[in-house]
Chains A and B, each alone.
Chain A
Amino acid sequence: MPDPSFVFAQSLSGLTAAMFLFLIASGLSLIFGVLRVLNFAHGTFYMLGAYSAYQIVQWLGPGPGRFWLAALGAALAVAALGGIVEHFLFRHLYDKEELYQLLFTYALVLILSDVAKIFWGTQQKSVSRPPELTGSFALFGATIPHYNLLILLLGPAIALAFWFVLQRTRAGRFIRAAALDRETLGALGVNVDRLYTVVFMLGSFLGGLGGALIAPMRATVPGMDTEVIVEAFVVVVIGGLGSFWGTFLGALIYGQVLSFGILLFPRFSIFAVFALMAAVLIVRPWGLLGRPLR
């Protein structure tokens, strides 16, 4: 019988992984909710966020607060990239078949991941945790690194911030309206084209931020994009495509299934995650908190 401090530690690591996934998947979910497209390149935005953070840290050199500047800078850079891609390219595919939109996002994966290789080479890059957060403390017998704790707090904080923006601000209302009925919103005089660009940039920002924040904990390396995008898909499907809190819930479930799966059925924890995704799609396709697509 595993002792409680271990169970606590294991669920914490599942939560930390979940928060990272939430950051990435929330951007994906937002873009899908409004633009109705599943952006394969979202994983690549995440990767570019990590690489950009690495690069900015290299430029800035050591010093207090450098890492946070780098993370913010990276997220903004990725958002800008998203805006450019949406405005000049993606926009022209909205009236085409869904398949073309999906394949375009996949083409972006190919192009952007090679661009990353050209800039940063193929070797693994390492980002150190910010010096303020290299310590750890003990709680219930488990060792919790300070950085992990920050991520655990940052995740829900960002979720709440976005919830607030979506529910309580005018821009948020427009975004939700665009998700429901684009034409009517346009007829009401709102510049829907610009709104779409803003949403795409916002989603990309989240993806890039997720990548930048995860860089100190994982390796920044080619191929991290194709791995994470499938994980993000699982999260978004379980929680509900287009539902913000659904993504949060999906990420939590995913994190816990994976970390306890390693204990209970170590060989098949990967299988369990995809089986869960399939089960949700079979039983309740629009996810735990989602709404049926019209």
Chain B
Amino acid sequence: MRAGLAAPATMTAAARWTPALVLAAAFCVPALGSRFYTFVANDVVIWALFATSLNLLVGYTGLVSFGHAAYFGIGAYTTGLLMKKTGVSFLLAFPAAGVFAGGFALIFGFFCVRLTRIYFAMLTLAFAQIVWAICFKWNEVTGGEQGMPEIPYPDFGWLERLGAAVPLVGGWRTAEYYYFLTLGLVALCLWALRRIVGSPFGRILTTIRENPERAEFIGVNVRRYELAAFVLAGGFAGLAGGLFGIFNRGVFPDFAYWTKSSEVLIMTLLGGMGTFFGPGIGALALILLNQQIVSYTEYWPLVLGTMLVVLLFGFPGGLAGAATALWRRARTRPRRA
């Protein structure tokens, strides 16, 4: 029985309020005054959404995708192209990222879910490399190798004007406004994803993960549910990509390259695939660790690889798994006396 997938009724009050507290704390980061902290926090928040979207596929449905970066890339290029080349506003460009990514996920996923295990993984990889190859070579549209530097920020003029009237709203830098926007949007997406996995639909997904044949036997159209999960995961990854393209000040083809897919997979594993917030914690841990380690050594991949091996052998539940087990141990201890 995996920790954390329990229904909300059995969660303690603390567990229920933690996400809200974390969100509030996250909003306070720019107040610390360091542009760098805001930069890192923004990075973490977007990757948290990306990793959580992947977990919908891997953790909840049991489908291991090696090409999730494709949808991230499609989302980034969609928003980038719309905002930079055609001047469309963020209000449209952002949802468009999700729609386009979800659309491609529908097409690619239709073929992928007909396969299992390694073939599924290979096909997701193939489609991701196709997306990468197009972004890399279609110079006229995507900028090719150079990518598209300078994606405009959304217009924050309205916030500035609001700030004149409402305290605390005004006076921030553009990057900080963008951080608040990202944080709000990601929180919204995570809330939506939470509702999805907590719903009957989500529970059927876990049933499929645990035993696809039994699910089929009890009347579930496994293929259709898997495709739905695929599309949702792809759509949310696209939204993360759209946000990232602007944050990164440029969209580049390696957003869709397979090594990006493995990065987000590692985050998901590090944080814990068995819980909803695991991947988000994984994103936080990985990015912070990266920052710390590279100030001491250039051999970050060596450290990451070693950490990964330790995780795989010792802590398959990831950080969240370890933390939850710790929590439960702590809670059951008094009773044993």
Contacts and interface: CB of A to CB of B under 8 A. Distances in A.
B133 A38 contact: no
A278 B126 contact: yes
Count class of interface residues, chain A: 35 or more
Contacts, number: 110
Q: Interface residues of A: mostly helix, strand, loop or mixed?
A: helix
Given A98-B118, A275-B130, A282 B123 contact: yes
A281 B111 CA distance: 9
Interface stretch (B33-41, B218-226, B237-245, B259-267): B259-267
A94 interface: no
Interface stretch (A67-75, A76-84, A101-109, A186-194): A101-109
A241 interface: yes
Count class of interface residues, chain B: 35 or more
Contact of B126 (A103, A104, A117, A237): A237
Interface string B298-337: 0101101110110011001000000000000000000000
A106 B262 contact: yes
B115 A110 contact: no
A271 B134 contact: yes
B251 interface: no
Given A107-B308, A110-B308, A98 B301 contact: no
B247 interface: no
A233 B125 contact: yes
Given A111-B302, A237-B122, A271-B134, 12 more contacts: A104-B312, A107-B308, A109-B305, A115-B302, A118-B299, A230-B129, A271-B133, A274-B126, A274-B133, A277-B126, A278-B127, A285-B115
Q: Please provide the 6 A-B residue pairs with the shortest distance between their CB atoms, ordered closest to farther.
A: A110-B305, A111-B305, A114-B302, A107-B308, A110-B301, A271-B133
Interface of A: 32, 38, 89, 92-93, 96, 98-100, 102-104, 106-111, 113-115, 117-118, 226, 230, 233-234, 237, 241, 267-268, 270-271, 274-275, 277-278, 281-282, 285-286, 293
20 contacts: A32-B118, A38-B122, A89-B313, A100-B316, A104-B308, A107-B305, A110-B304, A110-B308, A111-B302, A114-B305, A230-B258, A233-B122, A237-B126, A271-B130, A271-B133, A271-B134, A271-B137, A275-B130, A281-B115, A286-B119
